[in-house]
């Protein structure tokens, strides 16, 4: 009696299919948020912007002496004007933050990996701007309140003293935070537009700070008509307590500055879509 052995083929389990992830706006936003928070430069630049905004305002309030002012300057000062003196320096720091967040990726070459993961590209620009806007508005608004409250003790009892409950004060403080957040987005758009950190910073400084200097060389009639619509001048009206003669109202100034930011974003978006990385 013979037995026949039959070999049974070994069965191997089929590999489990790998999960597929769709590129959604929410996932891109989380990715850009993690990228932003992981960079040391993000924290340093935010800290510098906060320091300028809070420290300068408090120091100006500490050193304020009505006897040192004469003429129109003595009448035009108010507690908001003093506490927000640091906005000019803070806008430079936060604008540079925006440039670094976009142009920096072109400098390091990381943008190729970013666009490989997000082939449609435009969500990268929008999510970067959202992350920057959110971080900047929190830091800038906090800095504005710290500066005002810190300087309030030094201005107490003086003619220009104001409190948080005074008419228009909260609008100005929140307006300063909004303005600086928009400056950050403006810097990001310029960085994505020129794709160079040095070029983006130079363009930012030129538009925000040097345009008014150049305008002084033009005829005075031109200056009167054009100056209120420059981005820095229009932005300043957003957080001003009183509307100066010839200046824009806070609401109009906001829309004018938003138009400048939107124009930069449109140019950046066009270049992102049409140009190679």
Give mean pLDDT, residues 60-68: 82
Residues 149-208 have pLDDT tens digits of 999 888 888 888 888 998 999 999 999 999 999 999 999 999 999 999 999 999 999 999
pLDDT above 90 coverage of the chain, percent: 58
Domain ranges of the chain: 25-274
Tell me, yes or no, if the pTM score tops 0.85. yes
Tokens of residue 191, six digits: 């960085």
SS3 216: coil
In angstroms, how far is CA 51 from the centroid of its own chain?
15
* 57, 84 Cβ separation under 8 angstroms: yes
Mean pLDDT of 63-86: 73
Instruction: Round to whole Å and give the CA distance between 147 and 168.
Output: 16
Q: Measuring CA to CA, which residue among 105, 89, 103, 99 is closest to residue 49?
A: 89
Both tokens assigned to 241:
């307590």
How far is Cα of residue 74 from the mean position of the Cα atoms in its chain?
A: 32
Band of residue 69 on the pLDDT scale cut at 50, 70, 90 = low
Residues 6+ apart with CB under 8 A from 189: 98, 102, 129, 261, 264, 265, 267, 268
What single DSSP character describes residue 209? I
């Amino acid at each position: 009696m013979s037995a026949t052995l039959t070999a049974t083929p070994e069965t191997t389990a089929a590999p489990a299919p790998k999960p597929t992830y769709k590129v959604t706006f929410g996932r891109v936003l989380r990715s850009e948020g993690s990228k932003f928070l992981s960079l040391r430069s993000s924290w340093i630049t935010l800290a510098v912007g906060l320091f300028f905004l809070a420290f300068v305002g408090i120091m100006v309030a500490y050193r304020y002496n009505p006897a040192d002012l004469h003429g129109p300057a003595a009448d035009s000062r108010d507690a908001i004007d003093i506490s927000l003196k640091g906005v000019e320096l803070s806008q430079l720091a936060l604008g540079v933050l925006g440039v670094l967040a976009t142009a920096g990726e072109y400098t390091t070459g990381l943008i190729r990996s970013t666009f490989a993961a997000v082939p449609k590209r435009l969500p990268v620009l929008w999510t970067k701007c959202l992350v920057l806007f959110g971080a900047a508005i929190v830091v800038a608004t906090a800095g504005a309140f710290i500066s005002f409250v810190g300087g309030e003790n030094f201005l107490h009892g003086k003619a220009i003293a104001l409190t948080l409950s005074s008419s228009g004060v909260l609008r100005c403080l929140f307006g300063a935070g909004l303005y600086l957040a928009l400056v950050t987005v403006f810097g990001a758009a310029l960085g994505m537009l020129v794709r160079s950190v040095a070029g983006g910073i130079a363009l930012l400084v030129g538009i925000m700070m040097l345009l008014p200097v150049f305008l002084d060389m033009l005829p005075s009639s031109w200056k009167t008509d054009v100056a209120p619509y420059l981005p820095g001048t229009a932005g300043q009206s957003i957080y001003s307590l009183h509307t100066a003669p010839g200046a824009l109202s806070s609401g109009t100034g906001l829309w004018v500055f938003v138009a400048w930011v939107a124009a930069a974003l449109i140019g950046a978006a066009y270049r992102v879509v049409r140009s190679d990385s």
